[in-house]
Amino acid sequence: MKKKLDLIRLLAIFIVIAGIVYFYLNVLSPKLIPNILKAGIIERPMNILVLGLDINYNPITKQQIFDEGRSDTMMLIYYDPLRGKINILSIPRDCYVDIPGYYPTKINAAYAFGRIDLAKKTVENLTGVHVDKYIIANTKGLIMLVDLLGGVSVDVEKDLYYVDRAGGLNINLKKGRHKLSGKEAEGYIRFRHDAIGDIGRILRQQNFLKELTRSLSTPNALIKSPFIVGIFERNVKTDLTLKEFIMLGNTLRQLDLKEINAASVPGEPGDNQAGSVWLVNYEEMRKIISQYF
């Protein structure tokens, strides 16, 4: 009987210790938890279309208008929970495509013509990939999120300087690793005055997304998670349920950044009736799609 009681005590102590270790890992080092033991994560593969909108302002109130204009950023994201991978395909805003029901033009016009339904259909036609869910964000939410986190550290690859008073942009960033404020982060991902145009901006967006994911996986972000959810509720439109959205955020916390792969739609710059465009290399894109999706 005494041996049985001792065994029960040892088992109880083991369970308590295991619980403490699990809690410690989930808060401070979620990436160390084996996939089979991870809780509160998305459990099936999912393709998510992420749109960042052009900044539009009411000419009278000067307030930002959320749901109008062309999409400024397009990313198709594939998450595979079984392999613990996230693949990102950035779609240049100047991709010259056929917009269903309209005419060939830049892909960023799809959202302006028919909102999210037409944007999804256009991306599906371009890539051949079915879009399961969508997320539409504005830069106001990004600014608030970065400031809430206390800034996000980024390796700025070169000096970036550009002023657009009408668009509310005042970019002045020096080369090197810096902890960017919300407004600085907005400037970093929106700067597109490179020799390679939008492709340079896409590389910065992908770089920033990885660093933001790193910041969101810290204990500091976990403590502030109720405020983070509030920012997303006010500045993001999505067909993800709140539960799915929170689970996706928790998934990102537990993801090894080495498992985030990023590419962009291949092609070359050109000019036609739509202006300066990105001419898609469909053969190369199909190779990326087969590998990423």
What mean pLDDT comes out for the span 259-286? 92
Provide the whole-model pTM: 0.77
Regarding whether 95 and 121 lie in a shared domain, the answer is yes
Residue 106's SS3 state is strand
Regarding whether 18 and 147 lie in a shared domain, the answer is no
Asked if residue 35 has pLDDT above 70, the reply is no
The backbone region for 150, taken as left when phi is positive above 0, alpha when psi lies in -120 to 50, beta otherwise, is left
Q: What is the mean pLDDT of the chain?
A: 80
Predicted local distance difference test score (pLDDT) of residue 119: 96
Predicted local distance difference test score (pLDDT) of residue 89: 95
Regarding whether 165 and 104 lie in a shared domain, the answer is yes
Q: What is the CATH number of the domain that holds 214?
A: 3.40.630.190
Who's near 85: CB < 8 A, 6+ residues apart? 78, 79, 259, 260, 261
Regarding whether 140 and 238 lie in a shared domain, the answer is yes
Pairing of strands 160-164, 104-106: unpaired
Q: How far apart are CA 178 and CA 9, in angstroms?
A: 52
In a domain, 55, yes or no: yes
Q: How far apart are CA 143 and CA 219, in angstroms?
A: 20
Find how far residue 119's CA is from the centre of its chain. Answer: 17
Regarding whether 211 and 160 lie in a shared domain, the answer is yes
Highest mean pLDDT among 21-25, 68-72, 75-79: 75-79
Domain with 24, as residue range(s), is 1-33
In a domain, 105, yes or no: yes
Predicted local distance difference test score (pLDDT) of residue 17: 43
In a domain, 38, yes or no: no
Do residues 184 and 172 lie in contact, with contact meaning Cβ atoms separated by under 8 Å?
no
Regarding whether 3 and 135 lie in a shared domain, the answer is no
Q: How far apart are CA 216 and CA 223, in angstroms?
A: 10
Regarding whether 104 and 11 lie in a shared domain, the answer is no
The backbone region for 57, taken as left when phi is positive above 0, alpha when psi lies in -120 to 50, beta otherwise, is beta
Regarding whether 149 and 98 lie in a shared domain, the answer is yes
Regarding whether 168 and 80 lie in a shared domain, the answer is yes
In a domain, 39, yes or no: no
In a domain, 241, yes or no: yes
In a domain, 166, yes or no: yes
Regarding whether 213 and 158 lie in a shared domain, the answer is yes
In a domain, 62, yes or no: yes
Asked if residue 70 has pLDDT above 80, the reply is no
Q: What percent of the chain has pLDDT over 70?
A: 73
Do residues 149 and 221 lie in contact, with contact meaning Cβ atoms separated by under 8 Å?
yes
Query: Which residue blocks in 165-218 are alpha helix, DSSP H?
Result: 182-190, 198-216
Domain count within the chain? 2
Predicted local distance difference test score (pLDDT) of residue 30: 45
263 or 139, which is more confident? 263
Asked if residue 20 has pLDDT above 50, the reply is no
Regarding whether 68 and 28 lie in a shared domain, the answer is no
In a domain, 137, yes or no: yes
Pairing of strands 46-53, 133-137: parallel
Regarding whether 87 and 135 lie in a shared domain, the answer is yes
